[in-house]
Structure 1
Amino acid sequence: MTLKPFALLLCLLALSCPSLAAGKTIYGLNEYILIQDLDLVVAGKLDTGAKTASLSARDIKRFKRDGETWVRFVLAIDGAEDQIVERPLARISKIKRRAGDFDPDEGKTYTPRPVIELHLCMGQALRTIEVNLTDRSAFQYPLLIGSEALKNFEAVIDPSLKYAAGKPGCDSDATPGE
């Protein structure tokens, strides 16, 4: 009979911690993220209200290489602003404009942004993430991680925490998870 209260306690603990039961990782509102392709660690903002991830870039230009469309840009990140990056273009995203950004003469309710794939390490997890390019230099964080990437990281966000995952700890020869 003494096992029943213990079993009940275990069930209650499992129900009160669904993230543990589902194998998800708890991250804070902000995390250190290694952009493995660029060998650069930046502070990122985790934003469940944004769909896509965004990286701060300027002088964004599309060009052709071996018949494929690529994008060349300069990082708009303190300490890395002289780094020119070239990556294959994954697609063009349509980012919804806010009411204050809408120009009725132009008629577009969205802003087109180039999207590239990057290998990002957050905590111990390495993932391949689609990232759109835009100048975020007016924002505090040069990298925004949206809900699509957060799903890929199997993340649960606790906004009362900051840098809960610590410094990125992915092996340099690790293969990104799915």
Structure 2
Amino acid sequence: MTLKPTLLLMCLLCALPGLSSATEKAVYGLNEYVRLFDLDLQLAAKLDTGAKTASLSARDIQRFKRDGEPWVRFYLAVDDAHKHPIERPLARISKIKRRAGDYDPEENKTYTARPVIEMNICMGRSLQNIEVNLTDRSAFQYPLLIGSEALKRFTALVDPSLKYAAGQPACTPDATPDE
């Protein structure tokens, strides 16, 4: 069977939009350096397409009200240098599925409720405002996990064979998050 040239050309043109959108995406490695823009703090993050949300290592997490609005106060669980509390408006509460080893039959809950805040995060040359849930990740190698929802905001392609492909965060001090 042979395809007529016109039909072949039409098939190629149909495939081009998918190819062009892939070339517009930034390629990131499995791990990247990020800057928590609001806190002027740089750290290493793990990019995880299997996780939906981003998670930041925090301890002593407390919810409270400020002017009738829900807020959260926490300390970064990154290293001993972060001794001052951080306060941010509470965006929402996220329900994270528990893994089999994390399930407690006495509690009868298959999820963990975590507070979520919004943060401006710079990765490579892109500054994005993303939602980050707060949990103690001090047992993990990377204090920040960036999940699929945040990766969509960065229009990211993740190549797990690469590390630190975007280099050092390069957002300027006067940058605003991309829309």
TM-score range for the pair, normalised by the shorter chain length: 0.7 to 0.9
- 1:95-106 pair list within 5 angstroms: 95-106=96-107
Q: Which residue of 2 aligns with 1:61?
A: 62
Whole-angstrom CA distance in 1 between matches of 2:161 and 2:178: 27
Whole-angstrom CA distance in 2 between matches of 1:127 and 1:157: 17
Q: Which string of whole-angstrom CA distances, capped at 9 and with x for unpartnered residues, describes residues 6-39 of structure 1? A: xx9xx8xx97x94774410000000000000111
Q: Which residue of 1 aligns with 2:125?
A: 124
Whole-angstrom CA distance in 1 between matches of 2:28 and 2:61: 31
**TM-score normalised to the size of structure 2?**
0.87
Deviation at 1:81, TM superposition (A): 2.9
Whole-angstrom CA distance in 1 between matches of 2:37 and 2:115: 20
Q: Which string of whole-angstrom CA distances, capped at 9 and with x for unpartnered residues, describes residues 142-175 of structure 1? A: 0000000000100000011100000000011111
What is the RMSD of the two structures over their aligned residues, measured on CA atoms? 1.9
Q: Which residue of 2 aligns with 1:73?
A: 74
Amino acid aligned to 1:169 = A
> What SS does the corresponding residue of 2:152 show, helix, strand or coil?
helix
Q: Which residue of 1 aligns with 2:28?
A: 27
**TM-score normalised to the size of structure 1?**
0.88
Whole-angstrom CA distance in 2 between matches of 1:44 and 1:169: 16
Deviation at 1:80, TM superposition (A): 3.5
How many residues are paired up? 166
Q: Could you tell me the percent identity over the aligned residues? A: 73
Whole-angstrom CA distance in 1 between matches of 2:80 and 2:160: 27
Q: Which residue of 2 aligns with 1:114?
A: 115
Whole-angstrom CA distance in 2 between matches of 1:31 and 1:114: 24
C-alpha contact 1:62 1:69 (8 A) present in aligned 2:
yes
Are residues 146 and 40 of structure 1, via their aligned partners in 2, closer, same or farther at CA, if it must alter by over 3 Å?
Answer: same
* Unmatched 5+ stretches in structure 2: 1-8
C-alpha contact 1:19 1:25 (8 A) present in aligned 2:
no
Q: Which residue of 1 aligns with 2:169?
A: 168
Q: Which residue of 2 aligns with 1:46?
A: 47
**Greater than 6 Å deviation, 4+ residue runs:** none
Whole-angstrom CA distance in 1 between matches of 2:108 and 2:122: 39
C-alpha contact 1:77 1:137 (8 A) present in aligned 2:
yes
